[in-house]
Amino acid sequence: MKKWIWIIIIIIALVVIFGFWLTNKKQNNTKEEIKIGFIGPLTGSGASWGIEQKNTLEIIKSEINNSGGVNGRLINIIYEDGKCDGKDSATAAQKLINIDKTKILMTSCSSASLSISPIAESNNVLLFAIWTTNPGFTNAGNYSFRISYSDVDTAKTMAKIIGEKYKKLGVLTEMNDYSVGVSNAFKQNYNGEIFEENFSPDSKDFKTQLTKILSNKPEAILLNPNQPGAGLEALKELRELGFKSQIYGNYFGSDGDVLKSAFAQEMVFFADPDITNTPLKQSLFDKYIAIYGEKPDFEYAVAATYDGAYILKQALTKVEYDSEKLKNYLYTIKDFNGMLGTYGFDQNGDITGSLPSAKQIVNGEIIPYKQN
Amino acid sequence: MLSAYIIHLLILIGIYLILALSLQLAMGYSGLLNLGHIAFYAIGAYISAILAINGFPFFGCIIFAGIGAMIFGFLLSIPTNKLKGDYLALATLGFTFVVYAVTLNWTSLTRGPLGIPGIPKPTLLGIDFSSNLSFLILTAIIALITFLVIWQITRSPFGKALQATRDDELAAQVLGKNTFKLKSYSLAISAFFAGVAGSLYASYITFIDPSSFTLLQIIPILSIVIIGGLASLRGTIIATFIIILLPEPLRFIGFPSSIVGPARQIIYALILIAILIYKPKGFFGKVKLE
């Protein structure tokens, strides 16, 4: 009995000592560095974009540090794996804030950002969410900003464009936070009749749902999946079931396989905001290919990460490494010129001026969509 | 005084301790290979979150979370009572998927995949537990109560009867024990504490969504029970500390950024495998599940 009590006490003591040691050590030796914490999905299914974001940050870090840093101070980015999981992300945030004493956190998934924001808020740490589209993040707190449109923006664009033409719409939605967020906001903004069916994230066949939707004779159909593969399958089945009219889709239309598919031609989709082919984008992508050997798949995530880091750099140049001053400065930014266009932040820390756009697939190419 | 990071880890340890101890009651002491434990955790978290959002006091939330999970635990025990070993594991596994599907699809109640953000931090008897240190004290008290209750149960005649059922159900029946009832009660009590842990989790992290309660989440809890050793409460406690704290020092090794994510997980897994090679029954394991 006594033995194991001692074991527990020793373990606790070791952890406490270890914690203090780290706290003190880190405080002393790195006063000059500006520390930024990044919490993203580095393993698991989200890793496909998390790693691209990390790679982008590495490129930016060397760009900034090679040109002398920010006001002479080098930046140091500390990566933690949040796995898009609330608990793991919160642990990582506690570690970055309390041990590394970072005053800036960057996050990726909505679930991570939402569970970190109360921690950031109570520690007065700046939270910079890169790709967080959950509408709930708008009210997350004073220190929370996002370099991303909200699902509400996507839905508003959809509702406007589809609503002008069709008043009876079938909607197929995946049960996942992105798609449901879009669907909820769409229903609030769309002026017409909606027949909606859902499918769970692991479904591979949608004939039941589509048949049910088609039995209501909708004038057009909106496909709202979260994975391009599901969207492509739904497109195929929809045409096989004999649906001839207009099909709309969410972002999945920009996927390479979807573009090539015969079933997807003439589809109108609502994409991430335009990332125009500027020299800035070209040079970043060239660098990325040179270092990592391939083109990034998630252009939006990479571009938003790039912009986010440079907004931070601009803020750090203007005011010092102090989250309170940084926060106040960020609210005053109204016309940052970055890869996503020219934009700023509103009073909720959401971005203004970078909105999703409508595109059409014609002959395997994406062209801007014009309503006729 | 303590670093907030350590406090955070200790809170997680507290929550996992409650979960692991309650699973130990069902698995180690009653021989029920229950993979549906995470579902009770989810039920507790959701009940607590929904009540708290609607202005319920924390005391009500945590009690209802426990009772709600307990009712489901009892209900689950009825159809699965005749099942044993692998078959019971599969049936309870199914229960996890059912609860996951409900939290995902009943959007009017659970907000579906969007999750429930902004769950209020608890206040109890006029004391505000919104700071992490006070929350740690609250968690520690509840974990201690859980430990004492389960410890007492395992020493009581009821606990002895449970262990008899685990070792030889037929013999227990011959001696006049109603094993059906015993197993149901055991599962219900186990579910109660899982629900309480869920309630603590929801009010601590303040955001829950269905992906917080997928089947994968059972793995750390199951690892705790197995590494600690079946039917050993002290083993469970030690294993909880090990499983939760083990990945943490790995953060400080300073891997190059290209492998930082996977390297931590690989080392973590290797250490766990090593423990089981040298201690196949776990640290203090007394029995083997059939």
For B57, the domain range is 4-278
Q: If DSSP codes are grouped into helix, strand and coil, which group holds residue A110?
A: helix
Residue B260 with chain A: CB contacts under 8 Å: 42, 79-81
Is B284 within the bounds of a domain? no
Given an 8 Å threshold on Cβ–Cβ distance, is B206 in contact with A118?
yes
Centre a 10 Å sphere on the Cβ of residue B257 and count the other Cβ atoms it contains: 17
Kindly report which listed range (A7-16, B5-14, B38-47, B96-105) carries the lowest average pLDDT score. Answer: A7-16
Of B105, B117, B241, the CB nearest to A11: B241
Of B5, B101, B208, the CB nearest to A94: B5
Q: What are the phi and psi torsion angles at A168 (to 5°)?
A: -135, 105
Residue B216 with chain A: CB contacts under 8 Å: none
Residue A176 with chain B: CB contacts under 8 Å: 113
| A138 close to B (CB below 8 A) | no
Is B50 within the bounds of a domain? yes
Local structure of residue A274 (DSSP, 8 states): P
Q: What are the phi and psi torsion angles at A263 (to 5°)?
A: -70, -20
Given an 8 Å threshold on Cβ–Cβ distance, is A15 in contact with B238?
no
| A317 close to B (CB below 8 A) | no
Residue B285 Cα, gap to closest chain A Cα (Å)? 14
Centre a 10 Å sphere on the Cβ of residue A283 and count the other Cβ atoms it contains: 11
Buried b (16+ CB within 10 A) or exposed e, B236-249: bbbbbbbbbbebbe
Of B5, B209, B262, the CB nearest to A177: B209
SS (H, E, C) A286-303: HHHHHHHCCCCCCHHHHH
Domains in chain A: boundaries: 32-149+277-352, 152-271
Given an 8 Å threshold on Cβ–Cβ distance, is A136 in contact with B117?
yes
Given an 8 Å threshold on Cβ–Cβ distance, is A87 in contact with B205?
yes
- Give the pairing type, strands A341-345 and A351-352: antiparallel
Residue A1 with chain B: CB contacts under 8 Å: 234
A251 burial level (CB within 10 Å; 0-12, 13-18, 19+): buried
Helices (H), chain A: 2-29, 47-66, 86-98, 110-122, 151-165, 177-189, 207-214, 228-240, 256-260, 279-292, 299-318, 323-332
Question: DSSP letter string over B84-153?
Answer: -HHHHHHHHHHHHHHHHHHHHH-HHHH-GGG-B--PPPPEETTEE--SHHHHHHHHHHHHHHHHHHHHHH
Q: If DSSP codes are grouped into helix, strand and coil, which group holds residue A191?
A: coil
| Total domain count, chain B | 1
Average pLDDT, chain B: 86
Residue B105 with chain A: CB contacts under 8 Å: 175, 198, 200
For chain A, the first-to-last Cα distance in angstroms comes to: 81
- Give the pairing type, strands A220-224 and A168-174: parallel
Confidence of residue B192 (pLDDT cuts 50, 70, 90): very high
| A163 close to B (CB below 8 A) | no
Interface list for A 209-228 with B (CB within 8 A): none
Number of H helices, E strands in chain B: 12, 2
Of B176 and A3, more confident:
B176
Residue A140 with chain B: CB contacts under 8 Å: 117
Given an 8 Å threshold on Cβ–Cβ distance, is B8 in contact with A22?
no
Residue B240 belongs to what H/E stretch?
Answer: helix B233-245
Q: What is the CATH number of domain A32-149+277-352?
A: 3.40.50.2300
Give CA–CA dist B113/B107, Å, rounded. Answer: 8
CATH code for the domain in which residue B59 is found: 1.10.3470
Is B287 within the bounds of a domain? no
Most confident of A7-16, A318-327, B61-70, B98-107: B61-70
Of A22, A85, A176, the CB nearest to B252: A22
**Residue A34 bridge partners (DSSP):** A75
Given an 8 Å threshold on Cβ–Cβ distance, is B6 in contact with A19?
yes
Kindly report which listed range (A66-80, A182-196, B210-224, B248-262) carries the lowest average pLDDT score. Answer: B248-262
Given an 8 Å threshold on Cβ–Cβ distance, is B118 in contact with A136?
yes
Mutual angle of helices B179-205 and B4-24, in 10-degree steps: 170
Residue B265 with chain A: CB contacts under 8 Å: 43
pLDDT exceeds cutoff 60 at B175: yes
Is B290 within the bounds of a domain? no
Residue bearing tokens 């580095």: A42
Average pLDDT over residues B156-174: 88
Instruction: Say what the ipTM of the complex is.
Output: 0.74
Is B289 within the bounds of a domain? no
Residue B209 with chain A: CB contacts under 8 Å: 86, 111, 177
Q: What is the pLDDT of residue A182?
A: 87
Q: What is the CATH number of domain A152-271?
A: 3.40.50.2300
Instruction: Report the residue of chain B nearest A1, measured CA to CA.
Output: B234
The model's pLDDT over B5-36, given as tens digits with 9 standing for 90+, comes to 888 888 999 999 999 999 999 988 888 888 88
Q: What is the pLDDT of residue B199?
A: 93
Of A8, A22, A111, the CB nearest to B237: A8
Instruction: Let me know: does A49 contact A108? Beta carbons within 8 Å.
Output: yes
Of A98, A115, A175, the CB nearest to B104: A175
- Among B8, B207, B214, B248, the residue to mutate for chain A (most A Cβ within 10 A): B207
Is B283 within the bounds of a domain? no
Alpha-carbon distances of A128 from A22, A67, A137, A368, rounded to whole Å: 25, 24, 11, 30
Residue A371 Cα, gap to closest chain B Cα (Å)? 32
Is B112 within the bounds of a domain? yes
Is B285 within the bounds of a domain? no
Residue A123 with chain B: CB contacts under 8 Å: 4
Q: Which two tokens stand for residue A289?
A: 């290919």
Instruction: Let me know: does A161 contact A169? Beta carbons within 8 Å.
Output: no
pLDDT of chain A, 372 residues: tens digit per residue: 567 667 767 776 776 666 666 655 555 444 578 889 999 888 877 788 888 899 999 999 999 888 888 888 888 898 888 888 888 888 889 888 888 888 899 998 888 888 898 889 888 899 989 888 888 888 888 898 888 888 888 888 888 888 888 888 899 998 877 888 888 888 888 888 889 998 887 788 888 989 999 898 888 899 988 877 888 888 888 888 888 888 888 888 877 788 888 888 888 888 777 677 788 888 888 889 998 888 887 888 888 899 889 898 888 888 888 888 888 898 888 888 888 888 888 888 888 877 788 888 888 787 888 776
